[in-house]
Structures are given as structure tokens and as C-alpha cells.
């Protein structure tokens, strides 16, 4: 059993799931064990709390959108500073939604593990 907040387990599992879907085979081998461990946790959690499935899907969507926005920058396909700035703002906004989902999970399970950002737009909410 992994000992961390459920919101963090689901967030990490969503990221690992994206990696398993999008990375080349040789890279997937490096994370297969972690993905399997978090997958078992996910299965147990969603069996006990089925409402987590839709919240997980929201995390998966947010993390996928962030990945997509960052991918061209990471690969050097976008070098225009104006476009990089626009993507950074979109990433920030999507991350804000991601944090909201993580906090919904914490609240629904009555866990004292809300994600709070300081000097960050999400701290204003």
C-alpha cells in the first residue's frame, strides 16, 4: 500500500498512464513497475470509491493537455517566445484546474491534503 494522499496517488497514476501510452517502448520499461503499483492502488480505490473514476479521468485529461502543450517546447519545435509565453499561460490555467480536481478528491475523502499554492494564481481561489 502506498502511503500518500489519494489525490497524489491518482495524479501520479495519471501521469504514469500517459507515459505508458506515449513514451517509446524502451522508456516504458523503466516505469512499468511503478505504473503497475499505482494501478493496483487505483483499482482498490475506485472499487471502494467509484466516484473517483470520473475525477481520475479529469486528472488524466488535464495532465494530457499539459503534456501536449509542453511537448513542442521540450522538443525544440517551438522557439518563438510569444508562443512559448502563450503556452505557459495555458499550462498555468490547466494546472489550476488540475489542482481543483486534486482538492475535490481530498475534500470528498475528508483528507487534510489540499494542494495550496503560494504566489500563484490558484492561491487566489
Domain chopping of the chain, boundaries: 6-124
Q: For residue 117, what pLDDT is reported?
A: 58
Distance CA 35, CA 21 (A): 11
User: What does pTM read for this prediction?
Assistant: 0.87
Task: Give residue-wise pLDDT tens across range 33-64.
Answer: 999 999 999 999 999 999 999 999 999 999 99
Amino acid at each position: 500500500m502506498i502511503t500518500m494522499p489519494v489525490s497524489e496517488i491518482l495524479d501520479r497514476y495519471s501521469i504514469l498512464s500517459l507515459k505508458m501510452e506515449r513514451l517509446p517502448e524502451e522508456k516504458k520499461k523503466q516505469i512499468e513497475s511503478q505504473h503497475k503499483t499505482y494501478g493496483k492502488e487505483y483499482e482498490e480505490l475506485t472499487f471502494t470509491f467509484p466516484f473517483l473514476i470520473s475525477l481520475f479521468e479529469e486528472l488524466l485529461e488535464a495532465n494530457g493537455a499539459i503534456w501536449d502543450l509542453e511537448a513542442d517546447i521540450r522538443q525544440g519545435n517551438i522557439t518563438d517566445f510569444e508562443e512559448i509565453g502563450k503556452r505557459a499561460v495555458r499550462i498555468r490555467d490547466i494546472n489550476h484546474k488540475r489542482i481543483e480536481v486534486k482538492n475535490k478528491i481530498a475534500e470528498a475523502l475528508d483528507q487534510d491534503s489540499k494542494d495550496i499554492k503560494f504566489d500563484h494564481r490558484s492561491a487566489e481561489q
